[in-house]
Amino acid sequence: STSSDNANDSLVNEINTNNQVMQNVSSPTSGMESTARFEGTVPNVYTDTGGIPHYGVGHKMTSEEIDEFGLGDYDFQPNQQLRDYKVDTSRIQDVFQSDYSSAQDSARKVLNLSNEDYSNMPEDMRNMVTDMTFNMGAGGMSKFPKFLDAIKGGRYGEAAGQLRYSQPYQTDTGE
């Protein structure tokens, strides 16, 4: 077996795991599905560009999980795949559902909206805010004050424009 065969096998395994996660998520929403597809699903421990350990659908490992996996003394480096540290699909599903639900709660709180007002937002805007919160956390969302103000005011077209012209967007995209 060649290294490209191993890489292909690994990719196929990752795709199959992602499909299993999405098939078994109870009552998936389009926002949840979109976040999972964007993030991808990794069936083992890996590190992000900052060397922070994750697994599954972008789940940042807690210190307890790091200890549980026996990685307490591991010297994490950026962009590593720790393929010997597998995570079963049911755990990935459960953790993703919990993380996504937390992101929804955080998004509502960042916007300072009641449950009813948040639920009455257009679904695509709710999904966008939840996805952003899933990726950046509530603190990261604070980098978009004009966007948040527009969302709170129900000015959704303006909100989308505010994202495009925000400093973080221009920094990330070079525009």
Chain position carrying tokens 């990330």: 172
**Stated pTM of the model:** 0.77
Do 105 and 138 touch, CB atoms closer than 8 A?
no
Per-residue pLDDT, 167: 58
Per-residue pLDDT, 157: 87
Chain position carrying tokens 């509530």: 138
Do 81 and 121 touch, CB atoms closer than 8 A?
no
- The helix/strand/coil state of 157 is helix
23-27, 86-90, 94-98, 120-124: the lowest-pLDDT one: 23-27
CA 123 to the chain's CA centroid: 18
Chain position carrying tokens 């990719």: 11
Per-residue pLDDT, 156: 87
Q: Which string of b and e fits 42-53 if b means at least 16 CB within 10 Å?
A: bbbbbbeeeeeb
Positive/negative CA dihedral, 113, 118, 121, 123: positive
